């Protein structure tokens, strides 16, 4: 089995999972954290190099203030509770997105967790929080301009170094919950990703579901525009 080096997941369907059970939306988000735990563990085990998870989009700020503040709280408590276990599993953590709008305690814990896990050499876990693909590209442009590089020196390779993922292209992009759109997740980085959509709602997504996605990936013929 060919294991994709970089898997990215749009973890969608927490609200619908809760609604089906007549529970508040936050119950779905909490259950979704459990799914994250299992998938991170499984990815480390099977040798995925990078797992990038879409936790909160730039546009998710437009939800009710109740849901947004509960999501911040959940993010904070999850980071706090999981960091020791992530460390034990040799996971390196990177958080991408515009964290400046996050409450100061969330920013602080995020910085501390990244620092603590920065020297680990196992799975790189990237959490996209208040992230938008368009935001990322504009941010990269600003960074390119600030670097003082000339137009002649700029190329795709150089530009990609200024993106949040710094030239780490996604091999397999998964979206749960049946929606088939990108919702402003990674844009540049999925130029040649294989796409996999499943109707499974994120809280029900488990390692068997991931194995199924990887199996599908193994049947893909990645041609990159060329022909043998």
Q: Would you tell me which residues interact with Mg ion (CB under 5 A)?
A: 12
- Taking the complex as a whole, how short is the minimal distance between the CB of residue 20 and ligand IPE, in angstroms? 9
Using the rule CB under 6 A, which residue among 6, 12, 188, 214 binds ligand IPE? 12
Using the rule CB under 6 A, which residue among 51, 55, 170, 172 binds ligand IPE? 55
Interface mask toward ligand IPE for 151-190; x: CB under 6 A = --------------------------x-x-x-x-------
Quote the CA–CA distance of 136 and 142 in Å, as a whole number.
Answer: 10
Total site size for ligand IPE, rule CB under 6 A: 17
Q: Which of 99, 193, 169 is nearest to 139 (CA)?
A: 99
Quote the CA–CA distance of 12 and 204 in Å, as a whole number.
Answer: 11
* 57 near ligand IPE, judged by CB under 6 A: yes
* 72 near ligand IPE, judged by CB under 6 A: no
For the question of residue 221 being annotated catalytic, the response is no
CB 193, CB 169: distance < 8 Å: yes
CB 96, CB 170: distance < 8 Å: no
Number of H helices, E strands in the chain: 7, 6
Point out the residues that are catalytic: 12, 60
């Amino acid at each position: 089995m060919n294991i994709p080096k970089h898997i990215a997941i749009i973890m969608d369907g927490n609200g619908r999972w809760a609604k089906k059970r007549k529970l508040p939306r936050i119950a779905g988000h909490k259950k979704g954290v459990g799914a994250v735990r299992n998938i991170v563990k499984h990815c480390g085990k099977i040798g995925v190099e990078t797992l990038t998870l879409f936790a909160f989009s730039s546009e998710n700020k437009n939800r009710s203030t109740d849901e947004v503040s509960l999501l911040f709280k959940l993010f904070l408590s999850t980071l706090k509770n999981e960091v020791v276990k992530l460390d034990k599993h040799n996971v390196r953590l990177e958080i991408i997105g515009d964290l400046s709008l996050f409450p100061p305690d969330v920013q602080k814990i995020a910085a501390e967790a990244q620092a603590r896990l920065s020297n680990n050499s196992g799975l790189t876990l990237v959490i996209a929080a208040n992230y938008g693909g368009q935001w990322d590209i504009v941010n990269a442009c600003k960074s390119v301009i600030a670097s003082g590089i000339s137009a002649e020196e700029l190329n795709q390779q150089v530009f990609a170094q200024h993106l949040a993922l710094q030239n780490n292209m996604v091999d397999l992009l998964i979206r749960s919950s049946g929606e088939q759109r990108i919702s402003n997740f990674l844009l540049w980085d999925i130029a040649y990703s294989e796409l996999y959509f499943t109707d499974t709602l994120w809280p029900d997504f488990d390692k068997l579901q991931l194995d199924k996605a990887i199996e599908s990936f193994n049947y893909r013929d990645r041609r990159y525009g060329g022909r043998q």
